[in-house]
Amino acid sequence: MAAANYLPSEDQFQCSICLNVFTDLVSTPCGHNICKDCITEHWNNSYRCLCPMCMEAFTIRPDLRVNILLSKLDTQFRQSAQQKASSSSSQQQVSKPGEIPCDVCTGTKLKALKSCLVCLVSYCETHLEPHLTASRLKRHQLIDPVENLEDRMCTKHDKPLELFCKTDQTCVCMLCHVSDHKTHDVVPLKEGYEDMKVELEAEIQKRRLKIQEIQDSVNLSEKDADREIAEGVQIFSALKESVERSQANLIDAIKEKQKTKENQAKSFIKELEQEISELTNRSTQLEQLSHSEDHFHLLQSVQSLNSQHPTPTKDWTEVSVRPSYEGTVVRAVSQLEETLSEQRKKLVEAELKRVQQYAVDVTLDPGTAYPKLILSHDRKKVHHGKNKKNFPDNPERFSDCASVLAKQSFSSGKSYFEVQVKGKTEWDLGVARQSINRKGVIPLSPQNGYWTLCLRNGNEYEALDAPPVRLSLKSRPEKVGVFVDYEEGLVSFYDVDAAALIYSFTGCSFTEKLFPYFSPKCNDDGKNSAPLIIISPVRVK
């Protein structure tokens, strides 16, 4: 009875071949217990009869006998396990759509608790018990339940995918490691996962920092916008006041002229009325004298009258009181234009100061220079020489145009650099995209990847847009500033000394790196021998 009430642990009822609880338990002559079907199949597939536990060999297949006591205990253990499983099943959840079911359950499938990467089977709580208690099964790798466990087997070697090849970024088995991935960086799955997790977290952190950078840029942009609005309101308020003041002055001037003419007209009318009065009196007196028949007395009287009251002799034919307003409005508008020009100059000066804050250090790239160009040791000056040097014709080098690019490039944000063009009669200056054609004669235009300004014949300036734009400049620039806003698609050129905007390429679409572009053009027998000089550092005005 004591034996009947005692139940050993589950691993004592596990078959050494199938690793499950005994089914139809039998014993070998050497005393080991095994499932009858398991040992029979084992011996049928082997040319020798060996005990799978102690490897004792039998010359004749022995008769298998039942260990009565152990068989009874096995039956009791099964009954107890079934009762436990039945009780546990009632408490466990039935697998729902979208959940991983237990592969061992028959009938109602319970929700799987774990999946075994060795057995390639998913287990509910009850059927998982052997993996938690049996010493051999404890070595199996359990994970949270997953579908398609067969996908975790190597299709080539039919082995578990237990390793991760960092070189090929793929899961491999042990045999793959020693064959196809022998020289690769192969690590256990867990280590590969941890490394990937670290890399992923680094990428996440990088993007978080980028988000913060963008947010900071938005905040700065908001401050810039507020500043621009404040400056704009200030400027336009000043312009509005100037316009209103000019308008008021114009009206006052016109009214003053009108008032002056009205007063003049009143004076003329008064004078005319006085003359009319005098002439009327004279006419009356003459009328009275005309009745006398003493001609001598009549003449004496008329002479006396003329000497006392002379006849008005003023010629009123050319007298006019029509006011002249011609040029009044024009002069007012001219004054307004002068004010507008002053305000515009102030705006450009402020704008130039802002873009100069984005100054970058630019140096010339000798690997791109046309063979006749001569670069200074500090890579800041370039001019055209007489002799063509025997440089290798690498793909980056200009073969026929007297041009050179900078070593530095722009692929985001804002950038600014300044170039001295003093003393030159011809030059090209601007930026060019990385993929430009550098062989043969190249028309400079945005379509060909160039955003440039040029000087020809000493005083002819053009923006090489499509079509080219002739520029009328008040003065010849000696120092040209180039500003690039990559995201905004903007390339602007400034006369630095005059603090004047020369030209802007707007609405550009940049998709690759931009390099500062320089062409001092030909020497022209010494007339254009002055170099283009990159100014560094930039002095903010």
pLDDT tens digits for range 314-332: 777 777 766 665 666 777 7
Q: Which residue has the higher pLDDT, 259 or 344?
A: 259
Q: What is the mean pLDDT of residues 176-199?
A: 89
What pLDDT is stored for residue 328 in this prediction? 65
Phi, psi of 317 (to 5 degrees): -60, -45
Helices 328-356 and 189-289: angle between axes, nearest 10 degrees: 160
Helix (H, G, I), strand (E, B) or coil at 152: helix
Rounded Cα gap, residues 54 and 44, in angstroms: 18
pLDDT in tens, 73-93: 666 666 665 555 555 544 567
Residue reference for tokens 């028309």: 443
Instruction: Give this prediction's pTM.
Output: 0.52
Give all strands (DSSP E) within 3-71, no chain letters: 25-27, 33-35, 49-50, 57-58
pLDDT at 177 over 90: no
H/E run at residue 327: none
DSSP 447-484: GGTEEEEEEETTTEEEE--SS-EEE--SS--SEEEEEE
Q: Give yes or no for a contact between 368 and 396, defined as CB atoms under 8 angstroms apart.
A: yes
Is the per-residue pLDDT at 438 higher than 80?
yes
Rounded CA separation 477/235 (Å): 26
**Per-residue pLDDT at 378:** 95
Q: Tell me the mean pLDDT in the region 32-48.
A: 82
Sign of the four-CA dihedral 174, 178, 180, 186:
positive
Among the listed residues 207, 118, 198, the one whose alpha carbon sits nearest the alpha carbon of residue 160: 118
Query: What average pLDDT score do residues 246-256 get?
Result: 82
Residue 512, pLDDT > 90, answer: yes
**Residue 7: predicted pLDDT:** 47
Residue 1: band (very low, low, confident or very high) from pLDDT cuts 50, 70, 90: very low
pLDDT at residue 421, rounded to an integer: 97
Q: What value does the mean pLDDT take over residues 4-22? A: 63
pLDDT of residue 451: 97
Nearest CA-CA partner of 362 in 536, 177, 158, 503? 536
273-297 average pLDDT score = 74
Q: Where are the alpha helices (DSSP H) in 120-168?
A: 125-133, 135-138
Arithmetic mean of pLDDT, 271-284: 81
How far is CA 56 from its chain centroid?
76
Per the model's pLDDT, the better-predicted residue between 167 and 88 turns out to be 167
Under the banding of pLDDT at 50, 70 and 90, the label for residue 310 is low
Query: Contact 361/379 with Cβ under 8 angstroms?
Result: no
Q: Report the run of H or E that residue 215 belongs to, with start and end.
A: helix 189-289
Higher pLDDT, 101 or 257: 101
For residue 516, pLDDT over 90 is answered with yes
SS (H, E, C) 337-397: HHHHHHHHHHHHHHHHHHHHCCECCCCECHHHCCCCEEECCCCCEEEECCCCCCCCCCCCC
